[in-house]
Amino acid sequence: MVKALSRTLFLLQRVRYSFESGKLLRPCRGLAQGHYFSNCSLPETMKAIMIRDFGNEDVLNVSTVPRKTNTPEEILIRVEAAGINPVDTYLREGFFAQLPPLPLILGKEVAGTVAAIGSNVTHNPYNLKVGDRVYCMLPNNGGYAQYVASIPENVIPLPDKLTYSQGACLYVTYYTAYRALILRAKMKRNETVLIHGASGGVGTAAIQLAKHYGAFVAATAGSDAGIELCKSLGADYTINHRRDDHLQVAKRELGDRGFDIIFENVAHVFLGEDGHVLAPEGRIAIVGCKGSIEIAPRTLMVSEGAMIGVSLFLMTPENMDEGTRVILQGIEDGWIKPVIEKEYTIHEARQAHHDMQKKAGKLGKLVFKVDHDSSCRTRTLIKQRRLAEDL
């Protein structure tokens, strides 16, 4: 009798945890191995932000569609937060080298919980289980939805130190910064790195990575709030890039040698002047660009500098594994701290994209918080009460 009562109380605690946190339950000790219990069955449909035509933010619409299902080789994720990135707006407008077919669910990154694991998933790098907190990389889009499916290699455990919204900030920002600084520009300790547009999502990630690897970081931003944010993340020198002469001023105030690396988030504005402030054998890593610009090749001849293109989507599996190890260790050690400027509901998608493109002076990352049908939690509460009545 005592054992039965203890077991019932244990199960009640599990149900209560599930209801209050909204998470799927993990396997319970003593229950049949391989059986997983969720706080309710998976729905047949889901909400998603769809585009059926390319265009401005008005083409973004929330639709009810069949719930995403995972193949036997994939992991299904219940999405709690989805990152919003400039690349999403380029795809929405149709301004991208390789456009996916329509209709399309945008979104390159999410965070949430594992909802199901395919029966043929034999390579599970992190030994993930149903209910585990994860972040997920979606190079082929699909993140603006309540559920996504992915190959196991792109599903990474999300440490408890970060919220779901912060987890949805990791892929595009930190992996891009890692590829640019470490893999492409080959940054070395004690080099001087200028980060143009440092107060945005990728820029704030670049500050943290560059400081961790021992660089001297000069950061630019377009507002006083942006400057303060860069300072709080450890930037050694800051300047407002709305000053026409900000590059020459920064070079002069830092000893007139120039910059070993320029991390260029705003190439369509500043690339034409970057070459004038490069140190000998300096490198310009082009991370963000919204248009064309005229440059003078002679500036690269003087410094024997180089312009390097950076594409997140050319990361090899080995590159991804290397970056993931650094990022997870950085979270554990406390130096990776994703900065979120604003959270939106999926019904605010048009406003979110408008803000992404039109609002000046970014202060971190924009994120969707993804709500789910409350009826699921209601059914859980009813079950919890019935169990209590049976005691």
Tell me which residue of 75, 65, 57, 168 sits closest to 116, measured CA to CA.
Answer: 75
pLDDT of residue 376: 53
- Position 260 pLDDT exceeds 90: yes
Contact 105, 67 (CB under 8 A): no
Mean pLDDT of 236-243: 95
Domain 173-314 grouped into CATH 3.40.50.720: yes
Percent with pLDDT over 90 in the chain: 75
pLDDT digits (tens, 9 = 90+) for 367-376: 999 999 754 5
CA distance 227 to 241: 10
pLDDT digits (tens, 9 = 90+) for 119-140: 999 888 899 999 999 999 999 9
Mean pLDDT of 183-199: 97
pLDDT of residue 39: 41
Cβ of 194: how many Cβ atoms within 10 Å? 29
Cβ of 373: how many Cβ atoms within 10 Å? 13
Percent with pLDDT over 70 in the chain: 85
- Position 385 pLDDT exceeds 70: no
pTM: 0.85
Domain boundaries 45-162+338-374, corresponding CATH code? 3.90.180.10
3-class DSSP state of 108: coil
Q: What is the mean pLDDT of the chain?
A: 87
- Position 25 pLDDT exceeds 80: no
- Position 342 pLDDT exceeds 90: yes
Which is more confident, 253 or 360? 253
Which is more confident, 107 or 272? 107
pLDDT-based confidence at 34, cuts 50/70/90? Answer: very low
CA distance 51 to 91: 10
Mean pLDDT of 25-49: 56
Which is more confident, 289 or 335? 335
pLDDT digits (tens, 9 = 90+) for 162-175: 999 999 999 999 99
pLDDT of residue 7: 47
Residue 11, Cβ density class (10 Å: 0-12 exposed, 13-18 middle, ≥19 buried): middle
Is beta strand 192-196 parallel, antiparallel or unpaired with respect to 216-221?
Answer: parallel
* Domain residue ranges in the chain: 45-162+338-374, 173-314
What CA dihedral angle connects 249, 254, 256 and 261, to 10 degrees?
-100
CA distance 347 to 345: 5
CA distance 71 to 121: 9
